[in-house]
Chain A
Amino acid sequence: MYSKMLSLRFPKKTANKPVVYSLVKKFDLTFNIMKATIYPREEGFMVMELSGHKTNFQRGIRYLKSLGIQVDSIGQDIRRDDRKCFQCGACTAVCPTGALYVKRPQMEVLFDRDKCSACELCVSACPAKAMEIRFNKALLS
């Protein structure tokens, strides 16, 4: 199961097409719409959580892009719960950006949020479940 929070920006010509319906029907994906707006000049903006099998998910995204919809993944704000983190370092095996790194010689494990790409690999790799995904609620208001 693969799931991501996405923002969709529809150009004027697609705003009235049943694209979400097609996502469900053609690609076997499920969705949860958090916000949907049509702006005065008829472009649309939507925030939704899209879930499904990873390959279907990727095909679905390709379909959206082929319609000229701008798709961005949003809201993945990764935080570390420092009360849960016990400073082992296991997460540094998977972190591709070096946001999680070991300070030597103290062997402290630090988290640099500015370097984090929100790839989420650390979330399941952390034995203490200290890495958490927070949705950026600012986008929904």
Chain B
Amino acid sequence: MPKASFSRTIEEINKKIRAGKAVVVTAEQMGEIVKKSGPEKAAKEVDVVTTGTFSPMCSSGAFINFGHSKPTTKASKVWLNGVPAYAGLAAVDIYIGATEPTEDDPLNRVHPGQFKYGGGHVIQDLVAGKKVELLATAYGTDCYPNREIKKKVTISDLPYAMLFNPRNAYQNYNCAVNLTNKTIYTYMGVLKPHAGNANFATAGQLSPLLNDPYYRAIGLGTRIFIGGAKGHVVGPGTQHNPRAARGPNGVPLSPAGTIMVMGDMKAMDPRWVAGVSMLGYGCSLAVGIGIPIPVLDADMARFTGVTDEEIFTQIIDYGGDYPKGQAHSLGKVSYAELKSGSIRFNGSDVPTVPVSSYVRALEIANILKGWIERGEFLLTQPVEGLPSVERAE
């Protein structure tokens, strides 16, 4: 009879957290531990591995209720600091999307456009406690006769402000180059002609979903760090694709899983929710997300022990193939190569450029580690898993 292998439950981990006895390490540290002791031993030693990511994440936004006016209003069009919000929800409910530019933004009329202010900046200003101008227009009804509201609001004036991001924390992402003969401006940053630079966008070994490749521990209800506060995963994100090709270690070799997340903006810190302007592309929001991963067994120890040498992504031409909708891999690179400063591509050395912050990702993993060590943050059993795939054994 084979010896029953070691395992622990989330309840057991939480008991240790409450007692202040849980062993918590960052995903960066876990890589070293697993390399040194192997996954079996690492699983016995470590209870929780913390991950982190801080990056511009489009598909972010916020649900806001701005409270009733006297007389009452059924807002049909709403702007926050001149940025249009979606008002087709209810009388005073809106959704402001991170990539929405100011209504009179010159966009790309003078290319590359600057996109100085947009939805992401509105969200950051609110989180920072700044005054934001709210303008709402209405057609007037018997129960909601008022036609216009114009007032300055701060987040404390808003009855409800929830960051609600339909797609964040991409599990792996492309490495972007530009094979045309002129500079292009993309959501992956500035790409110089003739593959002058290669840009990449995840925190590699620290990135949440790369440490739980089959989503064993992350699902609906998972408590997370978001924007400096505690929030939750509410399901698979848009474009969640578990069927992407995977390496022998189970880690996807191209963009794969995503999560939908939410968190109370009133508890957030503007350090971790920052409006961004991508030259020539548009506005967005940089979001800090950290997810604790329970080391349930040796299998999870192996997954969370993944290092940059074992995570690969594909080089994609954003100058030609990608805009044509014909993206295909021009080669495979590891995150260790990407982080080294240059990669070999078509026989020459191409400098690499990160567009996601590894420094901030590590800071998040460490903050989360501190919360758990101090018993301020308990782990959760997901109510529902994310769609996954059968594992190749």
Contact = CB atoms under 8 A, between A and B. Distances in A.
A104 B357 contact: no
Contacts of B277: 127, 129
Interface of B: 54-56, 110, 112, 114, 116, 189-192, 197, 199, 274, 276-279, 284, 286, 339-341, 351, 353-360
Contact of A90 (B112, B116, B189, B359): B189
A107 B274 contact: no
Given A87-B359, A93-B190, A108-B359, A128 B353 contact: no
Contacts of A104: 339-341
Contacts of A87: 357-360
8 contacts: A86-B360, A90-B190, A104-B339, A107-B354, A107-B359, A124-B112, A127-B189, A129-B116
A107 B191 contact: no
In this complex, the member of A84, A102, A107, A108 whose beta carbon has the largest number of chain B beta carbons within 10 angstroms is: A107
A125 B54 CA distance: 18
A128 B276 CA distance: 5
Given A87-B359, A93-B191, A108-B359, A127 B56 contact: yes
Contacts of A90: 189-190, 199, 353-355
B35 to A, nearest CB: 15
B286 A128 contact: yes
Per DSSP, chain A at the interface is loop
Contacts of B274: 84, 86, 128
A90 B352 CA distance: 10
Interface string A36-63: 0000000000000000000000000000
Contact of A88 (B55, B110, B116, B191): B55
A88 B190 contact: no
A18 interface: no
In this complex, the member of A86, A87, A104 whose beta carbon has the largest number of chain B beta carbons within 10 angstroms is: A86
Contacts of B353: 89-90, 92-93
Nearest to A85: B357
Contacts of A107: 339, 354, 357-359
A125 B112 CA distance: 10
B124 to A, nearest CB: 10
Interface in A100-126: 102, 104-109, 124-125
In this complex, the member of A89, A128, A129 whose beta carbon has the largest number of chain B beta carbons within 10 angstroms is: A89
B355 A89 contact: yes
A94 interface: yes
In this complex, the member of B191, B357, B360 whose beta carbon has the largest number of chain A beta carbons within 10 angstroms is: B357
